[in-house]
Amino acid sequence: MKSSGHTTRARASVPDIGPSLPTATVPLLFLAVAATLCLLVLTSPPLVAIGLLLALLGTVAPDHVPAWWVLLLLGLSQLWREPLATDVVYYVLLAGVHLLYVLSGLARLLPWNGRMQVGTIVRPLRRYVLVQAVVQPVAAGALLTFDREPGGVTGLSLVAALLLCVVVVVLGLGKRSSEST
Amino acid sequence: MMIEVALLLGLTIATTGVLMSRVDVLLIALPLLACAAIGLDTKPVDGTQSRVRINVARRAAEEGVDDFVFRVDVDAPKGTELVHLRLTLLGVSTHQLLVRPDAIVTGRIPVLHSGPQRVVAVDYRLAGVDSAWLSLPMPSELAEQVVPPVIAPIESIPLPHRLTGLTGTHGSARPGDGGEFRDLHAFAAGDRLRRIDWKATARRSQGLGDLYVRRTDATSDATVIVVIDSREDVGERVERWSGAPSDEDGLRVMDVAREAAASLAAAAIAAGDRVGLLDIAAHHGVVRAGIGKRHLDRLLRRIALSEPSGTPLNRRRAPIVPAGAIVYLVSALLDDEATSVAVLWRAAGHRVIAVDVLPALQLDGCEWHSRLAHRLVMAERQLRLTRMRANGVELFRWQEDAEQPSRAVVLRSLARAVRRRH
């Protein structure tokens, strides 16, 4: 501010949060990943169209059409595919569904016109890589073990039990840590 | 909330996999269930407090325009992964930010206007791992600053028609002590012996009993009432007059008004006069007339705090000002309220000087109807000014422009005009 004889010109007042990205990056990335997975995984054209529509609506209007509809469609689309250990698309689907879940969690936090610290995606990304580093070998091992006996009830039960154990152990650890604090 | 989504999705896919005896489908649920488990694990217990701290400081910049420097940091509970901040700067410009809980948000905002400034308002909410949980929006935190107006130097300040004080820095019209030489007068009862001018007595006396004394003028102080009209605060850009307030640059009426009021008050206090303050648009804007540095600080603080209030006060009669006081009415004179009050004060015998604080207006970007409305408003205003002048109210513009190149010259001529009358 100066004396009334002068006028001042405003300069941009943008809060500094360090290296940052536009928040629109996240929903756009969600749309790109979802669309790619739909085109890659879904086999029939009507399903592809529905998948693309759900992906688009989940990106543009997440309050009305939640993003998890497209996750459900993609997850269940594996039913129409052969369970092969050598099928790369399956591993891509496994990684993609998880990535879509992480991205939808970030996308629902902010409007499109915001900015996000680059650091905010480091932890989710690290956690994503860690989970995938466990899940992908487990999936490969399970498929290699059971693709000789597709639909084998014993093998499936073993994997389900393993899955349940993982969940119970994690939940138990979480409860113990919350009680200790 | 995302915990429920992850659990629901994971369990649906897993159940379908089990029912269809498909291990590959079942495994797709594994990362989702893992995410749900991690989200549950890191969810903070209820009642954990969080708070946001805002520090604002004013810093002089090299180019002459000061800055507010702010710093925002959040105390988030353990388990918080993301903080969604909504920063509102100067009450108008909003920034949506997603930051880590240990992040520090800093920024600079140019100080564009004087007066109370809502520098930074922060609304925030916390989110857990992968947005597994979301807190409710926290109550808004606000950091305010009051920017004092610039004080322009004034060499000569106009005085009232009649000085009423018994002592001060101004020469009075009545004889007394302390002032300049007045005349030589025959000794009368009550004159002090040390006032006898022996040389003049030797020169002038006709008889042995004649004595002459040197008489001087008395000194006196003036009472100055600065009246600020905080009714409207429009900017120099006419196209934005009817819009919402913005962080526009350039002068606003209240910037000029605060500067004019503060400068006049400082000049009058420096001259040893008694200065009072009145805000005709508010009930609480009265500072009784006084003198001294502490009183000036009080006046400047009150002037800096003046801002348009929600409901302007409609007065039925002019506020009472001390007898013999000069009234400086600092107003943009965009309505009849200030004008009618000024005319009433003038009719009561006060010297009234209206200080026009409407900045030089810019019509860039105005559409034809805005230009037409502006012409009408200005024509009405001109009529108002003419009526004021006709009623004996003196007037000058605070802002220097082509119409009035030097404020100092105008003030000097106004000050001289009253000196002649003493």
pLDDT tens, residue by residue, A26-47: 999 999 999 999 999 988 899 9
Please count the other Cβ atoms lying within 10 Å of the Cβ belonging to residue B348.
13
Size of interface A-B (CB pairs under 8 A): 243
Of B13, B43, B66, Cβ closest to residue A76? B13
**CA-nearest residue of chain A to B97?**
A115
B24 band by pLDDT with thresholds 50, 70 and 90? confident
Distance, first Cα to last Cα, chain B = 81
Residues A127, A77 share a domain: yes
In chain A, residues with a C-beta closer than 8 Å to the C-beta of B356 are none
Answer yes or no: is pLDDT of B422 > 50. no
Closest CA in chain A for residue B101? A120
User: A81 in a domain, yes or no?
Assistant: yes
Residue pair B280/B232 in contact (Cβ under 8 Å)? The answer is no
Alpha-carbon distance B78 to nearest alpha carbon in chain A (angstroms): 10
C-alpha angle A112-A118-A123 in degrees, rounded to nearest 5: 110
pLDDT of residue B227: 93
- Segment B351-376, tens digit of pLDDT: 999 999 998 888 887 888 888 988 99
Q: Who among A113, A166, A178 is closest to B34 (CB)?
A: A166
8 Å CB contact of B259 and A3 = yes
Q: Are residues A129 and A162 in the same domain?
A: no
| Residue B367: burial class (beta carbons within 10 Å; 0-12, 13-18, 19+) | exposed
Segment B177-192, tens digit of pLDDT: 777 788 888 888 888 8
Rounded to whole angstroms, the Cα distance separating A15 from A115 reads 10
Residue B124's closest CA among B98, B82, B169, B86? Answer: B86
A90 assigned to some structural domain: yes
- Using the structure block, give the residue that is written with the tokens 């005349």: B183
Domain total in chain A? 2
Q: Is a pLDDT exceeding 50 seen at residue B13?
A: yes
Neighbours of B309 (CB within 10 A): 15
Residues A128 and A180 in one domain: no
B47 pLDDT above the threshold of 70: no
Residue B358 to residue A120: CA distance in whole angstroms: 48
Best mean pLDDT range from B52-61, B185-194, B261-270: B261-270
Chain position carrying tokens 């220097």:
B400
* Mean pLDDT, range B86-101, rounded to an integer: 87
Whether A159 is covered by a domain: the verdict is yes
pLDDT of residue B299 exceeding 90: yes
Dihedral sign (CA A54, A58, A64, A70): positive
Residue A104 within any structural domain of the chain: yes
Helix (H) / strand (E) element for B178: namely: strand B170-186
Hey, are the CB atoms on B97 and A116 less than 8 Å from each other?
Answer: yes
| A111 and A35 in a common domain | yes
Q: State the nearest Cα–Cα gap between A172 and chain B, in angstroms.
A: 8
Residue A152 forms contact with B (CB below 8 Å): yes
Residues A142, A145, A149, A153: is their CA dihedral positive or negative? negative
Report which of A70, A32, A72 is spatially closest to residue A53, judged by C-alpha positions: A70
For residue B34, which residues of chain A lie inside 8 Å, CB to CB? 131, 134-135, 166-167, 170
Partners of B217 in the β-ladder: B175
What is the sign of the dihedral through the CA atoms of A34, A39, A42 and A46?
Answer: positive
Kindly state whether residues A116 and A35 are assigned to the same domain: yes
Q: Looking at the structure, tell me whether residues A60 and A80 fall in a common domain.
A: yes
Contact between residue B220 and residue B166 where contact means Cβ atoms under 8 Å apart? yes
DSSP 8-state symbol, B139: P
| CB of A109 less than 8 A from some CB of B | yes
Residue A83 contacts B where some CB pair is shorter than 8 Å: yes
Verify whether the Cβ–Cβ distance B131 to A17 is below 8 Å.
no
Q: Searching chain B, which residue's CA lies closest to the CA of residue A102?
A: B130
User: CA-CA-CA-CA torsion for A168, A169, A175, A179, nearest 10 degrees?
Assistant: 150
Q: Distance between CA A50 and CA A146 in Å, rounded?
A: 32
My answer on whether A35 and A56 are in the same domain is yes
Q: Which residues of A touch B103 (CB under 8 A)?
A: 17-18, 117, 119
Residue A52 makes CB contacts below 8 A (sequence gap 6+) with A35, A38, A39
pLDDT, tens digit (0-9, with 9 covering 90-100), for B376-413: 999 999 999 999 999 999 999 998 877 777 888 888 88
Residues A55, A77 within the same domain? yes
Cβ separation B32–A124 shorter than 8 A = no
* pLDDT averaged over every residue in chain B: 85
- A170 and A97 both lie in a single domain: no
Q: Can you tell me the ipTM of this complex?
A: 0.80
Q: Do A156 and B23 touch (CB under 8 A)?
A: yes
Q: Is residue A51 one of the residues assigned to a domain?
A: yes
* DSSP β-ladder status, B274-279 and B82-89: unpaired
Instruction: Please check whether residue A14 lies inside any domain of the structure.
Output: no
Domain range for A167 is 151-181
Does residue A32 sit in the same domain as residue A117?
yes
A155 shares a domain with A142: no
- pLDDT class of B303 with cuts at 50, 70, 90: very high
pLDDT for residue B48: 64
Residues A140 and A157 placed together within one structural domain of the fold: no
Question: Which sign does the torsion angle of CA B318, B323, B324, B325 carry?
Answer: negative
Residue B118 pairs in a beta bridge with B144
In this complex, the residue of B27, B45, B95 whose CB is nearest that of residue A138 is B27
B104-110 and B115-127 beta bridge pairing: unpaired
Residue A12 lies in a domain: no
| Domain membership flag for residue A77 | yes
Residue A103 parent element (H or E): helix A88-107
Distances, alpha carbon A45 to alpha carbons A42, A49, A51, B25, in Å? 8, 6, 10, 21
Question: What is the β-pairing status of strands B394-397 and B274-279?
Answer: unpaired
pTM of the model: 0.74
The residue-averaged pLDDT of B52-61 equals 85
